[in-house]
A and B are shown apart, each in its own frame.
Chain A
């Protein structure tokens, strides 16, 4: 029955990392983790290969974190790994793509032998520098950079590191609290792993890891066969910071795996929309898994099937010290870019393009009268446009894809700071027409409360370049950003919302799928009746 035993233990491992993730959500301070679910947690073998990962994660973390632990082993040095240690970094290139994400890794020892690692990632409230936004021209301006180092050694926390963090970030208490939460949730995982090894009378996870990797590799390759061997290409234009960005992929598929090369993609930008390759890799792997093998668990073996390359100087292969703070804006489009390459081959699977990048914004609320005593506040909000229409279904209205995050309730946002959300509603007519209609975007109207003004950091895309329809479907509507007096806003960068004004965000819709003439007349009637289409 070793087969069944291994299956049971595999499921147990997944439940252990879910517990680990849950412990993080419950204790985290950053809104992106606790409200939006922007986190990841996983367990690794002693070589740093990911065995299991919590299904709560968002793709940008999931796959980048899969690669991160090997970097930790190398930089810490195997001879300096002790029981009770905890390691940390926010290195965008060795972690998950920008300084706001801290990754923490704890080793697991059993009877004196290293048997596993637990790792987790969370987006913290602030890392100092200019604050969250795309305006920096070097990563140095984007905040404090913590290279891979020990957060704790043999159970003793590195107070010097905490002291440096405290003196370099806004909201120091919350950031330090989050670092403790990260390390603490790994400890939860370690306790549960020991209990499992006790129950099954095992010394380590090597044999189980081999079983999991073997099963996953075989099954993933099998699923990959639904895509004929060959070369596939696609090109997509998105807005970028000032100048539009061309994204290009050449996808090579053979029996062993799929490789994405991003040659032909625009060069890096002077501002923080650049993407470390590890992050682009994550959203490519996600595209392949979601299209070909949706039931496959994410682990070392399923991800090893998907590889990437990009030329030096390409926006999807940003290098230190290029700025990367809002790498998600371009990074999120990698999934639609790669799905587009196989859309003609898998016409029953691949949806039309969607709004793609989340419409996140960061508000620095400041008193209009500095002598008023009203305290400064930071507010972060996540919002989504429409997804692309699917071959047999309309797109999803105002729903994140490929990101896996949630929005925050307006009532909770208003409690977090001096903001009024006047409107957060679907945006009729924004979904691309088609046999299947693109998902609708949304309209958000917001402004400062009395006595405040906003430094409002925009990081919005698809304002110039719409989500394209597929197989005859129309494009989704572009996004728009403007003040209620008509003053247009740039889609990227920090701008002022004065007291008494309202800022209006119209989020883009998803592309349509198939000829609009073929749309079921009943769906056309329903769209009008419900006001999705005017």
Chain B
């Protein structure tokens, strides 16, 4: 390997494929349009661009890290494999009956999401394990073999390409699932088989069955895509291992990804959270609100102690306005974030109450915002930003797009201003205010779900649209500090390069604090640690990073509640095994954590743990701390333009500053815009910006005591 490390992060998103190359000489990035029918082509084009720009040789590449929406898209567009589900007799319809509720209370014409696997492809087997692992109805070999024959004997054009196996309480004991898989593979060795006790060993049958179905459904597609990508990369001269970023924000090997492709869902946004966490570590920020706004959605994530918050389940492929409950649940470890339909392309209109509404419909890249002049006629957030002067045709970076102020005004005028009897500028201000309010409300609700108050947080903004809207969001959330890092527009791909090798094992096992079985819990946690470690060491084995073997860190959590409650809070465990005082220790920890979430613990109630997590990861390299930099010099203002300032609801003459021309210590007082290719940062009248040593733009209130605190 010549001249140190050379690494590439490639993020295939809905509109753009972002590629970032990092060498000892610096960072090179590009955005190319996502090539839907063969995503690897867009990646290779982007790779060629950055490698040429860096004057490097692909053969010297040490690591290639990839994140993709391909699995998510397959679930949304239903382009996965012909898949069967085999489940416990009596539960054929679990994935169709869902929660038996309507996600929209007032819609008589509600359509529930179609189950991933149709009823005719769902098959049942007589067997049953109890909640505590007893066999209530034995696995019937003869019936199982007959079912295997039934699954195998189908005409070619109806042959199953994948089979998901999900049995009741298999998270307690997966013996029956494994036995059926063995019988199936004997007869159908070429079929992709997923079992729920491996893919998602968590309680709650709807979520677990759906997760194993999703895994089976995308597996053939993802396995062949990953193989293809790997081969093409090698063919282009790369000789390095390929890793995938997973939804929990760690790296996994191609082999693991091909077995558990469901873990690739939402891997792009996870990269964004890792990116923000890395900036947080460099700047020594313990409480961060990560804010990523693209063309279609905004994603908000809480990052404490440089670690993004995580969850055990999330929803993908929401069919109805991003409404909770309208998608399919996936139970895997995931970086927890809230995603709402608020992006640059979000379409604005007026509802029957005379209220301005924005999103979740997005104009996307086709037809795009009205101002793009690509056929869009409905007003979008980007159009409002343009009319308000926050964006300008002169400095807008997208190639081949000539922003039209007139088109933006016409759209806002007809769809908003005329309906409400406002002038066009007022309508634009209203649209911007509504989308900012939507995002602020989502952030608040997300924080409360996690028992947090974001007012003390620092915001880190990235993605094409975030730097423009972050300032107003800070005002609304009462957030004092905002950082816009270098490379903000390709933040997720940069985040891939910062991700550790990591794997999280999750299990459901009930333990009450007052009848605590230390031995059983110690055994469970040790099994889980073995499972997670083998994934990580498996991935590391292919890594050609020179030097000492990386140190592995293990984190262990219990998910606990008062007996009778339905929602658990995570309680962190120490390293050592439990002894006879384990139950007491856990109860104490839980009560402390509960107070933190909800203000006061409740005396005299039984306490229980119902889930466990063990996460094994390579230790994060110690990052170089970036000290807070005070303003050294004022930037001389060469240009200004008129921009609407939402905080004061006035039009102000704002400075226009090129980001490339700035140096650490430079100060620009708001109102100002800092422009760079692919994004623009807005500094409102009540704020000032100071460039930090690593190139981050720090934006704080004008009346703040300088950034030195």
Bound pair: A and B?
yes
Which listed segment binds B: A305-313, A412-420, A474-482? A412-420
Q: Mark B318-359 against chain A: 1 for CB-CB distance below 8 A, else 0.
A: 000000000000000000000000000000000111111000
Interface of chain B residues 91 through 112 with chain A (CB within 8 A): 91-94, 96-97, 99-102, 105-112
For window 442-497 of B, CB contacts with A under 8 Å fall at 444-445, 448-449, 476, 478
A354 to chain B, nearest CB (A): 11
Q: Is the CB of B352 within 8 A of A184?
A: no
Q: How large is the interface on A (under 10, 10 to 19, 20 to 34, 35 or more residues)?
A: 35 or more
Query: Which chain B residues (195-240) contact chain A, with CB distance < 8 Å?
Result: 203-207
Residues on A with C-beta less than 8 A from B109 are 390, 392-393
B604 proximity list for chain A (CB < 8 A): 173
A8 touches B434 (CB 8 A): yes
Contact with B along A19-59 (1 / 0, CB 8 A): 10011011111010011010000000000000000010111
Question: Whole-angstrom distance from the CB of B203 to the nearest CB of chain A?
Answer: 5
Stretch in B376-384, B545-553, B561-569 touching the partner: B561-569
Q: Does B636 contact A (CB under 8 A)?
A: no
Q: Give chain B residues whose Cβ lies under 8 Å from the Cβ of A7.
A: 355-356, 430, 434
**Cβ-closest chain A residue relative to B136:** A420
A422-B106 contact given A399-B112, A409-B204, A531-B119, CB 8 Å threshold: no
Which of B119, B422, B448, B599 meets A184, CB within 8 Å?
Answer: B599
Cβ–Cβ contact B448 & A19, under 8 A: yes
Of A254-262, A267-275, A289-297, the one with at least 4 CB within 8 A of chain B? A289-297
Tell me the minimal C-beta distance from B446 to chain A in angstroms. 10
Chain B CB within 8 A of A400 CB:
yes
For B325, give the chain A residue with the smallest CB separation: A406
Q: Which residue of B lies closest to A20 (CB)?
A: B448
* Closest B residue by C-beta to A398: B97
B559 shortest CB reach to chain A, Å: 13
* Chain A residues with CB under 8 A of B422: 3
Are B566's CB and A422's CB within 8 A?
Answer: no
Contact of A291 among B90, B97, B108, B112 (CB under 8 A): B108
Q: Among the interface residues A7, A442, A532, which one has the most CB atoms of the partner chain B within 10 A? A: A7
Contacts of A222 in B (CB 8 A): 352
A82 to B611, CA, bound (A): 43
Chain-B contact segment, one of A10-18, A133-141, A326-334, A451-459: A10-18
**A-side contacts of B169, CB under 8 Å:** 411, 414
Known: A19-B445, A219-B352. A26 touches B96 (CB 8 A): no
Q: Are A18 and B105 in touch, CB under 8 angstroms?
A: no
| Cα A301 to Cα B110 with chains together (Å) | 26
Q: Are B102 and A401 in contact (CB under 8 A)?
A: yes
- Give residues 516-564 of B contacting A (CB, 8 Å): 562, 564
As a 0/1 sequence over residues 350 to 364 of chain A, the CB contacts with chain B under 8 angstroms (1 = contact) are 110000000000000
Contact B562 A442 (CB under 8 A): no
In the complex formed, the residue of B with least CB distance to A393 is B109
Q: A390-B109, A410-B168, A425-B93 are in contact. Are A216 and B100 (CB under 8 A)?
A: no
Chain B residues closer than 8 Å to A382, beta-carbon distance: 100
Question: A34 near B565 (CB under 8 angstroms)?
Answer: yes
Does chain B have a CB within 8 A of A168? no
- Within the complex, which residue of A22, A390, A415 is in contact with B448, where a contact is CB–CB below 8 Å? A22
Which residue of the partner chain, among B101, B106, B112, contacts A289 with CB atoms under 8 Å? B106
A442-B97 contact in complex given A411-B204, A530-B118, C-beta closer than 8 Å: yes
**Shortest beta-carbon distance, B121 to chain A, in Å?**
9
CA distance A396 to B236 in the complex (A): 53
Q: Contacting A4 at CB < 8 Å: which of B120, B130, B433, B598?
A: B433
State A440–B602 Cα separation when bound (angstroms): 43
B704 lies within 8 A of chain A by Cβ: no
Q: Does B409 contact A (CB under 8 A)?
A: no
A208 to chain B, nearest CB (A): 14
Chain B, Cβ-Cβ closest to A166: B604
Query: What 1/0 flags go to A375-415 for Cβ under 8 Å of B?
Result: 00000001110000010110011111100111101111011
Q: A397-B97, A530-B120, A532-B119 are contacts. A409–B206 as well, Cβ < 8 Å?
A: yes
Please determine whether B649 and A1 come into contact, CB atoms closer than 8 angstroms: yes
The answer to whether A384 and B564 touch across the interface, beta carbons within 8 angstroms, is: no
Nearest chain B CB to A378's CB is how many angstroms away?
10
Asked whether B175 is an interface residue with its Cβ less than 8 Å from the other chain, the reply is no
Cross-chain contact of A424 among B94, B107, B426, B598 (Cβ < 8 A): B94
- Which residue of chain A is the closest to B97 with respect to CB atoms? A398
Q: Does A489 contact B (CB under 8 A)?
A: no
The complex places the Cα of A109 from the Cα of B111 at a distance, in Å, of 44
In chain A, residues 122-144, which have Cβ atoms closer than 8 Å to a Cβ of chain B?
125
Could you tell me the distance between the alpha carbons of A422 and B118 in the complex, rounded to whole angstroms? 22
Contacts of B136 in A (CB 8 A): 420
Residues of chain B with a CB closer than 8 A to A351's CB: 108
* A198 CB, min distance to chain B CBs, angstroms: 9
Q: Which residue of A3, A55, A409 is within 8 Å of B420 (Cβ)? A: A3
Chain A residues lying within 8 Å of B204, measured Cβ to Cβ, are 409, 411-412
In-complex Cβ contact of B168 among A1, A296, A401, A411 (8 A): A411
Select which of B351, B567, B597, B610 is within 8 A of A25 by beta carbon: B567
Give the contacts of B558-609 with A (CB-CB under 8 A): 562, 564-567, 597-600, 602, 604-606
Does chain B have a CB within 8 A of A349?
A: yes
Using A180-B600, A420-B130 as known contacts, say yes or no to A173 and B605 having CB atoms under 8 A apart: yes
Report B-chain residues with C-beta under 8 Å of the C-beta of A18: 445
A399 with B441: CB separation less than 8 A: no
Instruction: Tell me if A188 and B353 are in contact (CB < 8 A).
Output: no
Shortest CB distance A361–B (Å): 14
Contact with A along B123-155 (1 / 0, CB 8 A): 000001011000010000000000000000000
List the A side residues contacting B101 at CB < 8 Å.
Answer: 37, 384, 399-400, 404-407
CB contacts (< 8 Å) of A396 on chain B: these are 102, 110, 112
Which A residue sits closest to B202, measured CB to CB?
A411
The contact string, 1 if C-beta is below 8 Å from chain B, for chain A 72-89, is: 000000000000000000
For B564, list chain A residues within 8 Å (CB): 29, 125, 171, 173-174, 177
Known contacts: A37-B101, A392-B109, A397-B97. The answer to whether A425 contacts B90 by CB under 8 A is: yes
For the complex, what is the distance from the CA of A425 to the CA of B109, rounded to whole Å?
24
A404, B205: Cβ atoms closer than 8 Å:
no
* Complex contacts, B597 vs chain A, CB 8 Å: 26
B429 at the interface (CB under 8 A from A): yes
Q: Given A180-B600, A400-B100, A411-B204, are A445 and B90 also a contact pair (CB < 8 Å)?
A: yes
How far apart are the CA atoms of A199 and B477 in the complex, in Å? 10
Q: Is A365 part of the binding interface, using a Cβ–Cβ cutoff of 8 Å?
A: no
In contact, A4 and B429 (Cβ under 8 angstroms): yes
Q: What would 5 more interface pairs be, CB under 8 Å, given A29-B565, A199-B476, A223-B352?
A: A1-B426, A26-B567, A55-B105, A393-B109, A530-B119
12 pairs, CB–CB < 8 Å, chain A vs chain B: A1-B426, A22-B449, A26-B597, A26-B598, A174-B605, A192-B444, A199-B476, A294-B108, A409-B203, A420-B128, A423-B91, A426-B97
